[in-house]
Amino acid sequence: MTFIQKAINELTGNTGNDWSWSEHVQPASFRGIPFAVVNASAAFGRRQARHEYPYRDKPWIEDLGRSVRRFTLRGFLVQDSRIYRASDVITQRNNLIAACESGEPGTLIHPTLGELTVCVPEGGLRTEEGATSGRMFSFTLTVVETGLKVFAITDTAASGGQVNQGWLATTTVTAAKFISSVTAEVRSVTQAVRTLQNTARFWQNMVINAVDQVTSLGNALNNTFGSLHYGRYCSGLTGGTVSGATGRVTGKSADTDDAEIIRQQMAKGVSGRAAIQQAADGLLQIRTVEDFATGVTNTLNNIVAATGSAQEKVVVLGDLASYRDTRFYPVKADADIAARAVALIVVTSAAAMTRVAMDINPTSQEEAQRIQKQVCDVLDEAMIQAGDRFDDNVYSALLALYNAFIDGFSLKGTGLNNLVQYTFNRPLPALTLASRIYQDSGRTDELIQSTQPLHPAFMPVRFKALSA
């Protein structure tokens, strides 16, 4: 195009663009009912919470995500239309009213935005008719964008299942990534196995030291018998237990064979300890790279399945996830293999810790937040290591596990009261304090469970307990 022709086109408004706006306008309809549109408007934006503070001229705006999209169409229904085919105008009007009063979301064909799934709010359809309009009924239709029914998980059992699936998926993906990476880098299988044994030796010692803490008979019995009949230091279900969060009594009847239960727990503790010991010892006797991955996962699986306190397991697995190999490797290939082995240990330990944490039932919002932060910190560190190594699959699996844990464990803190600081001028019996604080002497056991005094008759003068 010459310079003169370009100047003429600019003066006449002809830019040479053949795109036609009218050719891209779609025939409007709602639930299959056609109509003509005169004009349309829409509202878009973000949902925000405005926080205003004293003596601060500018508020702080908290973003809450995209706001609901609202669309308004001004159109008309006409009989014997040249644009669309339909019956008489009164039947069209009645069909449009019935479509707007339907309880389910419907499909709106917007002239320029295309197909939308919308709902009609109260008063969303306003019609106008009169003698001057004749066979044309005008209307204003206001609709709201809608989507699938996707909410936060409201069932702790379902959320626990998702965490369990995330744990298994993370362990599988991490082990597969470890095997493929080490196999690709290894030059000598014997040297690689020797490096893996050196890497696992200190971690194996950590596991052995943690066996007694996880499988101790005292912890097992405390998590088997309930506090209602066996003392306030027991938190199991046998014989009934009193919740320090709600005061409810849950668990089985007190008519149980204590001796038989103790024998069963002793047997489970011994077998669990032996399984962990055997899996940990196998790390020092591996012959292939696959044996190392299998040994690490089996060790952690046995810790998860062992009889014992979930709180103790979380602490132990958190310590195992903090393992770092400080040994110096002069050969770069050996250092890379050791780093991969440490990554396998850290990620799988963090995943197992997340799985065990879902078995904990916190007694207050503060405890729920503390446990959640404890687990999330370990997962954050594992994700950082996976990201630094560019292990995208491992990072994605950890992120999915992280989100599932947040969604599930947040429900455990829902409905729990906050802890409040109480101060009295002298030690008082728990029965008196329960009557004074809660106006309910039946919550004495709950108060004892929350504060754990040296003796229920002499409660501390300062303690934290549930606010209501």
Low-confidence stretches of the chain (pLDDT beneath 50): 1, 150-156, 244-247
Rounded Cα–Cα distance for residues 345 and 325 (Å): 11
pLDDT at res. 245: 47
> Which pTM was predicted?
0.56
CA atoms in the 13 A half-sphere facing the CB of 279:
21
CATH class, domain 28-145, is mainly beta
CB atoms near residue 57 (< 10 Å): 6
pLDDT at res. 143: 94
Rounded Cα–Cα distance for residues 5 and 466 (Å): 83
Rounded Cα–Cα distance for residues 66 and 465 (Å): 39
pLDDT at res. 154: 47
pLDDT at res. 216: 64
For residue 239, give Cα distances in angstroms to 33, 42, 245, 252.
65, 62, 19, 5
CA atoms in the 13 A half-sphere facing the CB of 165:
10
Rounded Cα–Cα distance for residues 133 and 262 (Å): 89
Rounded Cα–Cα distance for residues 253 and 257 (Å): 11
pLDDT at res. 152: 45
For residue 454, give Cα distances in angstroms to 219, 430, 447, 462.
20, 11, 13, 13
Q: How far apart are the first and last CA of the chain?
A: 82
pLDDT at res. 314: 86
Decide: 86 and 92 in contact? Cβ < 8 Å. yes
Closest C-alpha among 397, 318, 322, 303 to residue 353 = 318
